[in-house]
Amino acid sequence: MELNDYLDAERRRILGAASPERREQMARAEQSRSVYRAWNAVCGGTREGEHVTGLRYLPDTNELLVYLDAPSWTQEMTMLREIIRARMEREGVMLSGFRFKTSREGYPRKSHAPVARPGTNTPAGASPKTPVVGTAPGAHAPAPSLVPLTPEEDAALDAAMAPISDDRLAQALKKAMKASAEWKKTQNPSTGD
């Protein structure tokens, strides 16, 4: 007997011995599992999926409740809902819709892998025997502080903006040029450019 045949026979045996209420509960659990599997196939490992803080299948309305870490991602996913629904249908799951909500402020995002301690392959608080899959999704090194422009450099920017008659455009351009110059100075502080 192959493993699949054995599992099918065991499933039939368990369902046959269960009460109608228990069978309904098992059917809902199987439906939830297929919804989560389809979600992971469609959004797992994607840029959008990294911002998901929680999922909950709502069997009464056949909707998937998706919690996201920022309002901008809630809006983005709301715009992508029909694309995601179509891709989930290709995975064999037909949903009535989605509900996207922003997680409350400070809600800890679940990481999918332990974060390694700097300079080692061992996660913080783990023994060296603990396998390390990689860094947590969405974990970024802190941005370096920018090196400010000197008064001479700032004056040169003002002089470059003088010919522009539209004040709003001049301010936006100066802001962009200043950010670029500060970033370049931060990347290469020895030369100053």
pLDDT tens per residue across span 32-58: 888 989 999 999 888 888 899 999 988
Distance in angstroms (rounded) separating the CA atoms of residues 51 and 32:
21
Cα-Cα-Cα-Cα dihedral sign, residues 44, 49, 54, 60: negative
pLDDT of residue 74: 92
- Cβ partners under 8 Å of residue 185, min gap 6: 146, 147, 149, 192, 193
pLDDT of residue 81: 92
Q: Does the domain spanning 3-102 belong to CATH 3.30.300?
A: yes
**Displacement of CA 178 from its chain's centroid (Å):** 31
Helix/strand/coil for 146:
coil
Structure tokens at 87: 């891709």
Strand order in the sheet with 63-68: 52-58, 63-68, 97-102
pLDDT of residue 183: 81
For 119-154, give one letter per residue: b (16+ CB within 10 A) or e: eeeebeeeeeeeebeebbbeeeeeeeeebebeeeee
Give the residue ranges of the chain where pLDDT is below 50: 112-139
